Amino acid sequence: RKEVEQDPGPFNVPEGATVAFNCTYSNSASQSFFWYRQDCRKEPKLLMSVYSSGNEDGRFTAQLNRASQYISLLIRDSKLSDSATYLCVVNAMNYGGATNKLIFGTGTLLAVQP
């Protein structure tokens, strides 16, 4: 089982739609979770961190479900400029506990259509 799994998509949605991505992680002890955005052929950029209580940044809402080991990203009122690949990122664990190493999912491709 991969440490971080995402549906690769593509998710094709019309402008204005609400779209949600899920990501599952294998290590129940993982502590830090992030969503990164990557435009085609560009570098990844941090979109938002994911906190236990859930957090919102404008049209974007991230949530963490520790019991089921998944994190989600909800995008409301999709814009054409939201078209990108969204990477789920989790910190790695080892026998000593949490590490500073990040594990990246393979990404979910979102295409917002006019």
Partner 1 sequence: EAQVTQNPRYLITVTGKKLTVTCSQNMNHEYMSWYRQDPGLGLRQIYYSMNVEVTDKGDVPEGYKVSRKEKRNFPLILESPSPNQTSLYFCASKEGLGLSYEQYFGPGTRLTVT
Provide the binding-site residues for partner 1, judged by CB under 8 A.
4, 31-32, 41-46, 87, 91, 98, 100-102, 104-107
Output the smallest distance, CB 109 to partner 1, in A. 12
Nearer to partner 1, 60 or 104 (CB): 104
Q: In sequence order, what DSSP letters do the residues of the chain get, joined into one string? A: --SEEE----EEEETT--EEEEEEES-TT---EEEEEE-TTS-EEEEEEE-TT-EEETTEEEEEETTTTEEEEEE-S--GGG-EEEEEEEEEEETTEEEEEEEE---EEEEEE-
CB of 45 to partner 1, least distance (A): 7
In whole angstroms, how close is the CB of 33 to partner 1 at the nearest point? 10
